[in-house]
Structure 1
Amino acid sequence: MIDIAREYRVALPDWIDEELAHVPTALPSREDRMRLVHRLADRNWREGDGGPFAALVAERESGRIVSAGVNVVLSSGVSSAHAEVVALGLAQAATGSWDLGSDGLPPHELVVNWRPCVQCYGATMWSGVRGLVVAGEGPELEELTTFDEGPLGADWAEQFETRGIEVVGDVLRDGALAVFRDYREAIDAGEVVVYNARGKAG
C-alpha cells in the first residue's frame, strides 16, 4: 500500500481570540467590518502566520459575523490557505452548508482587504455568497507586497455581478494600503517571508 498523507489541517491562529474578544456579534456597517479586517490583516503578518490579508463572512443585512479568516500559508504549510478560503470554509462549517446562498440561509457577503487573487476569485464565486466587499483593487497590492496575484481579467467584477454576486469596492482603501506599506517596510528590512512559488520567495 502506498503511504500517503490522508489529511491536512488549516486553523486560525490562537491570537484571533484576543482580537475578537470585544467585537460585537454583529457589525451592521461595512466600514466597521472592514476596520476589523484591516486590524486582523495587520496583526497576521506581524505574528508570522502569513501575508497581510484577512477576511470576514457576514450576513449581509444584519451584519452578524459568521466567520473570520486570515492568511495562514506560513503557519499551516498549505499554499491555498488564503484568508478568503479560510473564512469561506469556516462559514460553510458554521452553517452546515457548502452553499452559503442555499435556501433557508440569509444572504452572506465576503469582506476582504483587496480584490481576490485568482485562487480566491474562484473560491468566492463557488461559495454561494451574494456579495463581495473589497477595500480596493489595482496594482498597488502587488507593487507593495511583491505577491503574484495571478492573471485576473479586467472584467472580474462584472463576472461576479452576472452571477448574482454584488461587488462593493473602495471601502476604507487607505487602511488597506497602510497595512501593505508597513508590510513592505518589513520586506525591505528582511523581516518577513514572501511566499511566491517558482523560486520568487523574497
Structure 2
Amino acid sequence: MQLTTTQFGARLPEWVADELAGVAAALPDAEDRMRLAHRLARRNHREGTGGPFAAVVSNAATGEILAAGVNLVLASGLSTMHAEVVALSLAQAGAGTWDLGGAGRPPAELAVNWRPCAMCYGAVLWSGITRLVIAGEGDEVEHLTGFDEGPMRPDWKEQLAARGVEVRTDVLRDEALATFREYGQRDDVIVYNGGGRGRSPAHVLQIQ
C-alpha cells in the first residue's frame, strides 16, 4: 500500500498581515487583545476565508503578541482549522515546542472571541497556556450563526483551572455578539457542521 497524501497544512490569508501591520508588538490590556480578535473575526467572514472566529496568543505577563489565527475551515478544507487551533499551532511553531508553558518559557494567554468549542477545549488543555480570555460563553453563538459547538461539559472552567489555566470571561461580549449576528444575517451564510448537524441558516434566531 502506498499513501497518496502524506502531509497537510494551512496558511493565514494575506489580509491578516495587512490587518496586523499597524498593531503594536505588545498589547498590555486584555481588552485590546480582544479587540484585535474581534477585528480579525469580522474581517475573516467578510473576506470569505472562514467563520466569524479569531484567536490571539500572547505573553500573559507583557501582552507581547506571539501569534494570531482565524478560522480557516473554508480556506483550507480542513475541519480542524478553527481559530484557536490555528493560533496555538502558529505560536508553537514559532516557539519550536508543543508546550507553550514549558520550562523557561513565559506564561502564555489565548484570547478568543467566544468560548472554545468541544474540539478547541481539548486543544487549550494540551497547549500549555496559563490563561484563557473569552468574550463570552453560552449558546448565543449557536443561535445566531447555526454552528454546533459540540458537547461541552458544564464544569469546563473548573477543569481548566484544575490544570493551571485561569479563565476570564465576558471581555467585550457585545462586540462578539454583533459579529455573530452580522454573520447569521448574511444571505450567503455557510454553516459547515460535519454531516449537516446543527441549525440550518434558515432557523438562525435573532438574539438581541
TM-score grouping bracket, smaller chain normalisation: over 0.9
2:64 alignment partner in structure 1: 64
Alignment map for 1:7-86 (pairs within 5 Å): 7-86=7-86
SS in 2 for 1:198: helix
1:147 alignment partner in structure 2: 147
Q: CA deviation at 1:185?
A: 0.7
Q: CA deviation at 1:97?
A: 0.9
Deviations 1:77-107 (A, max 9, x none): 0000000000000000111110000011100
Supply the distance in 2 between the matched residues of 1:29 and 1:88 (Cα, whole angstroms): 20
- Identity, in percent, stands at 59
Supply the distance in 1 between the matched residues of 2:75 and 2:83 (Cα, whole angstroms): 13
Q: Does 1:160 align with 2:160?
A: yes
Letter in 2 for 1:39: R
1:125 alignment partner in structure 2: 125
SS in 1 for 2:88: helix
Letter in 2 for 1:12: L
2:193 alignment partner in structure 1: 196
Q: CA deviation at 1:11?
A: 1.1
| Structure 1, gaps ≥5 residues long | none
| Structure 2, gaps ≥5 residues long | 202-208
SS in 2 for 1:126: helix
SS in 1 for 2:141: helix
Q: CA deviation at 1:198?
A: 1.2
Q: CA deviation at 1:9?
A: 1.4
Q: CA deviation at 1:194?
A: 1.3
2:2 alignment partner in structure 1: 2
Count of residues paired in the alignment: 199
Alpha-carbon contact 1:48-1:192 (below 8 Å) kept: no
What is the TM-score when the length of structure 2 is the normalising length?
0.94
Supply the distance in 2 between the matched residues of 1:181 and 1:91 (Cα, whole angstroms): 29
